[in-house]
Amino acid sequence: MSESYYDRAPGDASALPDIEQGRTSGVLVYTIGMGLAVGLTALSFWAANTSLLWAGGVSLGLTALAIAQMGVHLVFFLHVTTGPDNTNNVMALAFGMLIVFLVVVGSLLIMADLNDSMMPGPEIMNLHMQR
């Protein structure tokens, strides 16, 4: 038992059941996460409604804020870290994110391309009118 690597279950704050020590810091971790999440959410709602920002960049900014908030949730609520006890969880998460990215971005790209190469509307296609 000299060298032991514990795997950690996702969502576990600590691999070792060190209860009394972990309690107060656990509350602190959730509170920090909650504060960050509320701040990012408020920022998202503000960015969507303000007229101070360049309108074209707002949707990109909202995406960035959502990614940041997802990170906050993963770290502070789901306790996914980059530690050696967490490798399996992170690898599964990375694979899941890859699939999500492929599905969403792939669908959007393919559908935008299809729309572009769609046949023109009926006004142009109507040969009777083009004589």
Positions in the binding site for another protein (CB under 8 A): 1, 4-13, 17, 19-20, 22-23, 26-27, 30-31, 33-34, 37-38, 41, 44-45, 47-49, 55, 58-59, 62-63, 65-66, 69-70, 73-74, 77-78, 88-89, 92-93, 95-96, 99-100, 103-104, 106-108, 111
Minimum CB distance to another protein smaller for 101 or for 125: 101
Minimum CB distance to another protein smaller for 52 or for 127: 52
Closest listed residue to residue 37, CA positions, set 90, 95, 78 = 78
Q: How many CB atoms lie within 10 A of CB 11?
A: 10
Report, in angstroms and rounded to the nearest whole number, the Rg of the chain calculated over CA atoms: 24
Whose structure tokens read 């020590």?
21
Q: Nearest distance from residue 58's CB to another protein, in Å?
A: 6
Minimum CB distance to another protein smaller for 25 or for 131: 25
Q: How many CB atoms lie within 10 A of CB 127?
A: 7
Kindly give the interhelix angle for 55-72 and 19-49, rounded to the nearest 10 degrees.
Answer: 170
Q: Nearest distance from residue 17's CB to another protein, in Å?
A: 7
Task: For residues 54 and 40, give the distance between their C-alpha atoms in angstroms, rounded to a whole number.
Answer: 19
Q: Nearest distance from residue 124's CB to another protein, in Å?
A: 21
Minimum CB distance to another protein smaller for 66 or for 125: 66
